[in-house]
């Protein structure tokens, strides 16, 4: 299990490692495959901070298809992003963001061995403690909370660009400051970020409240086939639906639009657990799990080869959507809180 907070010795090791290796070396920043707002925002915010420190040889990347979801194409620091294939093969320093386990590093996992040192910033309870220096705090609402503190300890002042990246990350992982993780510490950090001159209304509209017309029509199809399973999870109930690659083609949409689908599904009042099964390839599905508090879905996801947080988790499933949901249903009863 991840300790409740980061030990001083670990902070000291991270600061020492960055100060020693970053200024004259090649620095590779990596976040998880299929990056979300926290992955990209914490990575790019930290990248801009390193740039302010005078670090010149700096790349940010993530494994898999080099596709940035539209809501994030306006993020500051995007010029630092390179495709996986162009990432330094043997960086002097690797810094990893929002990655709970090595499998989320895809083809970049080898850099853990080839890099001079690897510092990991994360907030998943399921973090497997890969890498050399572990800045992992399962009580942090987002990886950007850890990134902000490391920048502070490196004496990098916040500016509006760094703040925008960290704010997008914080707003994404707290569901716009609505989830349980939204502590006083989160609002205090948001206050520091907004004080740099951010416009939260503009940012929210861009990252949450904007989607193509075709995506709305796609959501209508996918939500229309949702099924209620009131006896799942020991009677707490489950709702589930699925989206295929054919759905994406029919509505001419990119896969990232499906990431927002879990939101309307998890609002179903009659049940505790919500599941969205999204096709990745032939018989391969990205599965999103949410609970309102009756089930530890992180435990469910870990049992099925994935990871995440107690109330929000995911894994890769195989077979048909029905096969995937049967596997989830079986695990739910083993992870009642």
Binding site for Mn ion (CB under 5 A): 36, 38-39, 98, 143, 173
Nearer to ligand AMP, 17 or 298 (CB): 298
Alpha-carbon distance of 224 to 320, in angstroms, equals: 18
Nearer to Mn ion, 34 or 274 (CB): 34
The interface partner of residue 313, options being ligand AMP, Mn ion, none and the CB cut-off 5 to 8 Å by kind, is ligand AMP
Least distance in angstroms from the C-beta of 314 to ligand AMP: 2
Compute how many other C-beta atoms are within 10 angstroms of the C-beta atom of residue 117. 20
Alpha-carbon distance of 35 to 37, in angstroms, equals: 7
Q: Which residues make Cβ contacts (< 8 Å) with residue 41, sequence separation at least 6?
A: 72, 75, 144, 165, 166, 167, 168, 169, 170, 172
Nearer to ligand AMP, 17 or 144 (CB): 144
- Cα torsion 249, 253, 258, 261: sign: negative
The interface partner of residue 104, options being Mn ion, ligand AMP, none and the CB cut-off 5 to 8 Å by kind, is ligand AMP
Positions touching ligand AMP (CB under 6 A) are 100, 104, 262, 288, 306-309, 312-316
DSSP state for residue 212 in the 8-state scheme: -
Nearer to ligand AMP, 27 or 313 (CB): 313
Residues 215, 217, 220, CA angle at the centre, nearest 5°?
110
Which residue is nearest to Mn ion, using beta carbons?
38
Least distance in angstroms from the C-beta of 307 to ligand AMP: 3
Least distance in angstroms from the C-beta of 32 to ligand AMP: 6
Nearer to ligand AMP, 17 or 288 (CB): 288
The interface partner of residue 100, options being ligand AMP, Mn ion, none and the CB cut-off 5 to 8 Å by kind, is ligand AMP
Alpha-carbon distance of 313 to 296, in angstroms, equals: 9
Q: Which two tokens stand for residue 327?
A: 């596997």
């Amino acid at each position: 299990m991840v300790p409740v907070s980061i030990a001083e010795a670990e902070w000291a090791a991270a600061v020492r490692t960055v100060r020693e290796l970053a200024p004259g070396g090649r620095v590779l920043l990596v976040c998880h495959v299929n990056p979300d707002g926290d992955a990209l925002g914490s990575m790019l915010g930290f990248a801009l901070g390193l740039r302010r420190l005078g670090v010149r040889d700096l790349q940010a990347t993530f494994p898999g298809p080099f596709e940035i979801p539209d809501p994030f194409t306006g993020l500051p620091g995007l010029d630092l992003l390179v495709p996986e294939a162009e990432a330094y093969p043997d960086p002097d320093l690797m810094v990893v963001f929002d990655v709970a386990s090595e499998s989320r590093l895809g083809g970049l996992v080898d850099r853990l061995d080839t890099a001079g040192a690897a510092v990991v910033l994360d907030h998943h309870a399921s973090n497997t403690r890969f890498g050399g220096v572990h800045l992992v705090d399962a009580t942090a609402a987002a990886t950007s909370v850890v990134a902000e503190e490391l920048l502070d300890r490196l004496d990098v002042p916040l500016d509006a660009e760094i703040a925008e990246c960290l704010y997008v990350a914080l707003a994404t992982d707290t569901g716009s400051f609505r989830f349980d993780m939204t502590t006083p510490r989160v609002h205090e950090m948001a206050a520091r970020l907004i004080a740099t001159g951010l416009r939260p209304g503009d940012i929210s509209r861009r990252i949450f409240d904007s989607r193509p017309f075709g995506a709305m029509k796609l959501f209508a199809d996918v939500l229309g086939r949702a099924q209620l399973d009131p006896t799942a999870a020991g009677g707490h109930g489950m709702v589930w639906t699925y989206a295929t690659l054919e759905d994406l083609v029919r509505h001419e949409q990119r896969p990232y639009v499906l990431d927002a689908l879990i939101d309307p599904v998890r609002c179903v009042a009659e049940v505790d657990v919500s599941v969205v099964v999204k096709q990745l390839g032939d018989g391969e599905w990205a599965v999103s799990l949410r609970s309102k508090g009756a089930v530890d879905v992180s435990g469910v996801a870990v049992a099925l080869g994935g990871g995440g947080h107690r109330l929000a988790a995911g894994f890769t499933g195989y077979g048909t959507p029905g096969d995937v949901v049967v596997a989830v249903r079986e695990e739910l009863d083993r992870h009642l809180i």
